[in-house]
Amino acid sequence: MVPGRGHLRRRADDGRRPGAARPLTGRDTGHRAHQTGAAGPRESTRPGGVPPRKAGLIRHLGLSNVRPDHLAEALAIAPVVCVQNPYGIGSPADDHAFLDACGRQGIAFVPFFAIAGAGKEAGVVAEEAGQVRAVGEAHGVSAAQVRLAWTLNRGPHVLAIPGTGNPDHLVENIAAGALRLTPEEVALLSALR
């Protein structure tokens, strides 16, 4: 079990999902660890002292809100298939490097806040908005579409989570996948911090 405020989406130590009425049966094909505290993933043990990976209960891990050291620790437990972290235009250089490292290891990177960028929950940061809007105007698309296109441009291992409850925004988000930015535009947007 992950210590701190983080938690495992499926608890391997007791075989039950949080709030589930009955235990899981068979083998878990994936196990997603969500970390919000400072500590990284830790392999729990089942009653009897057998770690879930060795017991055949976990085949792969998916991680959320982790740093490179957490990924390294998780890889010692089981293969990691994805990392879900905040990422977008304006992310720090360390985040770019982590995304690239995941790609080199064949790990899917699933960024959230791709539209909000560095603003995260607060939304778009004003100083980024002008350059992003200018690129959007050049293509006849919205700033949100530019942000998604830039994020998806970061590599074939990137699977963005734009999130929306608005059907019009959903159509725009899907269309962003076809937007091709020039190398100059990618460089301009990549330089925003």
- Give mean pLDDT, residues 171-189: 95
* pLDDT tens-digit map of 150-162: 999 999 999 998 8
pTM: 0.72
Q: Give CA 158 to chain center in angstroms.
A: 8
Enclosing domain of residue 172: 7-190
Q: Which residues of 148-161 are buried (b: 16+ CB within 10 A; e: fewer)?
A: bbbbbbbeebbebe
Does a structural domain hold residue 2?
Answer: no
**What's 103's domain CATH number?**
3.20.20.100
Q: Does the residue 167 lie in any domain?
A: yes
Given a cut of 50, whether residue 26 has pLDDT beyond it is: no
Question: Which pLDDT score is estimated for 53?
Answer: 66
pLDDT band at 14 (very low <50, low <70, confident <90, very high): very low
87 belongs to a structural domain: yes
Residue-wise pLDDT for 85-136, tens only, equals 999 998 899 999 999 999 999 999 999 988 876 667 766 666 667 899 999 9
Q: What is the number of domains present in the chain?
A: 1
Mean pLDDT of 43-58: 62
- Least confident piece of the model among 69-73, 82-86, 118-122: 118-122
In a domain, residue 1? The reply is no
Q: What is the pLDDT of residue 165?
A: 82
Residues 62-90 have a mean pLDDT of 94
52: closest CA among 33, 34, 71, 67? 33
Q: Which two tokens stand for residue 37?
A: 């505290």
